Structure 1
Amino acid sequence: MPTITYIDHDGTERPIEAKNGETVMETAIKNSVPGIDADCGGACACATCHVYVEESFMDKVGQPEEMEQSMLDFAENVQANSRLSCQIQISDELDGLRVTTPESQH
């Protein structure tokens, strides 16, 4: 099982074993990760699951598609490594992925 590490804006780390096929958001919700609310339930219709992806994983998670990019316009403090965690599907290739939640979501 891949391990995803969720990092709060203050640096608190939460490594969590994730299931292949789930999204980074689903794993966060199931494990009560603060800062990921997922108000739309993963439908890419809000920006409450916004995360910053560690730079070394940007090629593996890929760039946001048009719908996701549109939703990121509603997020605060968007950066080049911003993604919606509902759009990142977990696979063995993402083992070790580290994502940080923005301060504005806490």
Structure 2
Amino acid sequence: MDDITIKITDRHGTKHDVVAPTDMAMNLMEVVRSYELAPEGTIGVCGGMAMCASCQCYVISNTEIPEMSDDEEAMLSEAFDVKANSRLGCQIRITSQLNGLEVELAPEC
């Protein structure tokens, strides 16, 4: 399977079903940017280095995602609007196991 479907709720509450390729080494933040689900300059500000939390999202589904790295955990400990289900989109690699993932973008900082 080369493509998966992800449900993304943008910062205005609009739900989007998007198709994401699994063969391009993309992460969730890059998928959000490619579909223009957040204004330019408001997501992925650090370029996906887990240094800004502009791509923070809330994982809604029970989809199993990789464990959080120490860098991601440290960044989220300093971010705003953090919840128990918060993750950085730049740290979630698009793989076939994520098919059906449902996330909501955190408010803009």
Q: TM-score range by the shorter chain?
A: 0.7 to 0.9
Aligned AA (2:5): T
2:93 matched to which residue of 1? 89
Give the Cα separation in 2 of the matches to 1:30 and 1:8: 13
Give the Cα separation in 1 of the matches to 2:12 and 2:33: 19
2:57 equivalent to 1:51: yes
Distance apart, 1:44 and its partner CA:
1.1
Answer 1 or 2: which has greater strand percent: 2
TM-score, L = length of structure 2: 0.84
2:73 matched to which residue of 1? 69
Q: How many residues align?
A: 103
- Structure 1 residues not aligned, in runs of 5+: none
For the aligned residue pairs, the C-alpha RMSD in angstroms reads 1.8
TM-score, L = length of structure 1: 0.87
Cα distance per residue 1:43-95 (max 9 Å; x no partner): 111100000011412xx113311100111123212111100000001111111
